[in-house]
Structure 1
């Protein structure tokens, strides 16, 4: 009987861990770019994580950008230790780059790179509470 209970407890524990939210899930505020910034909703997309533009802001406050609802962070896969790899879209030039992210508490460092990662543009995002 003890073996059965231990087996059930182990199975339940493993199931809970499998369904635990990734620490990157949630809403993140981008750095301002050309005077505007956005809130990005990070959530699962298949086996990876993706981020869509949920809200946009400029000097006048919140506004309705044509980019609302578009995916900015694509197919980010955890690499361990708070690192992620996938792709990022830059709305200002409509290009997709090799993307890397590093999570450190409520700070998310994001890089979009070309030339095999030799040339990168960086931003640090903060978690929206």
Structure 2
């Protein structure tokens, strides 16, 4: 009986360790393009899947539990900014900032 309880606890912990972060998946950007966010090298890479800049990596974010920080690139301007992402249900609020003072945000929707 104790052995069954310990085994069930190990299976539960293992399941939690391998659960995907809420940010992982396909997202519709504010511009209407599709971006895919996937695990890459201990963080999460943001790559455009459709649109004029399809195939271009536009960000790298790290974090857990729905809050992430890193860098975001505006592919049209070819400029990289301090970035952050916050997942709430099927919405992802992306923010890019210059010197943490001038910030712009947009909301992406999970596909």
Q: Under a length normalisation based on structure 2, what TM-score does the superposition of the two structures give?
A: 0.89
Residue aligning to 2:86: 102
Structure 2, unaligned runs of 5 or more: none
Residue aligning to 1:59: none
Structure 1, unaligned runs of 5 or more: 57-64
1:70 Cα shift? 1.4
Runs of 4+ in 1 over 2 A off after TM superposition: 2-7
Looking at structure 1, the residues matched to 46 and 19 of structure 2 have their Cα atoms a distance apart, in angstroms, of: 18
State the structure with more CA Rg: 1
Residues 1:70 and 2:83 are matched in the alignment: no
After superposition, what is the alpha-carbon deviation per residue over 1:5-64, rounded to whole angstroms, capped at 9, x for unaligned? 2222211111111111111111111112xxxx31001111122112111111xxxxxxxx
User: Could you say what the CA RMSD is over the residues aligned between the two structures, in angstroms?
Assistant: 1.5
Residue aligning to 1:18: 17
Of 97, 107, 110, which aligns to 1:124? Answer: 107
